[in-house]
Structure 1
Amino acid sequence: KAPAAIENILKKEDECRFIASRLVSVDKLFFIGRGLDYALSLEASLKLKEITYIHSEAYAAGELKHGTISLIEDGVPVITLLTQENVLPKTVSNMAEVKARGACVIAVTRENTKFAENTVDLRFNTDDTLPDLLDPLATVCALQLIAYYTSVLRGIDPDKPRNLAKSVTTE
């Protein structure tokens, strides 16, 4: 199932490129998610930051009211990850909060996930055939494609990020 789900994501390359076109001129953006989606948002934020040089941060959606929400300004992109059924209502509530404060909300969610469409500006549907625990395997591919195309559209070679080492040196 996972290979087929990843293949379905790769077929949506044009959608990823379109989302990237909306991010190309921003100087900051945020990712939010809960549970596995929070872990996924950390990885997505790091990848985007590394190859686009856009200031990107990931936050646990449940922590928004502890200062993070003060960073939301009109038009700031907030990519909300909504792939985990057990935390969906709370994450949708957080998504509505940032939308009410003027954020440009991009929802990355399963195809069958229902929520008020007026709470998002863009929606990317992932494959809905995987169980919650495996969904990040496919969703991360979409997030990496979005980072890749944002980098390319900014005129940056994503294969040669500045100031990054190929290996980590430890003492």
Structure 2
Amino acid sequence: MNKALPVRVLFVCMGNICRSPTAEGVFGRLIEDAGVAHRIVTDSAGTHAYHVGDPPDPRAQKTARARGIDLSRIRARQVVVEDFASFHYVLAMDDDNRRLLAQICPRSEAHKLKLFMDFAPEWPNREVPDPYYGGPNGFERVFDMVEAAAQGLLADIRRRHLVDD
């Protein structure tokens, strides 16, 4: 990979209003704090078009705000095939969405598709659960999981792409 180009990361869940915008916001804050935001581009999308154009769920925004992260600028969009060529990492929040992504992923880009929690091997859960139908504790748990995976993702990006930093 050309070291001058930014590393591009796409977080994907079902509707792009809970988990993936949370991951986008958490990771965005992490790379800002680490001083590498100029080298990494983040985005989020959903496998379904249920909420296209909508802001993140108010409960996700409230949880993020309580931790100093603003998700209000994010708007839901649906993932498109071109995303696989545009992004270096396409990270699904769960196996169902990973399978849906695999159905549209060009074979040549399949190496980019992973579960986000693969970057948090210390967590026993391999999937970030959908908090949409749960209470506020579900959003807190998702946030904790996302923070752990975000740390691992940044370490992976540093090792693989930002070795000169």
TM-score under structure 1 normalisation?
0.44
**More strand by proportion, 1 or 2?**
1
* Larger gyration radius, structure 1 or structure 2: 1
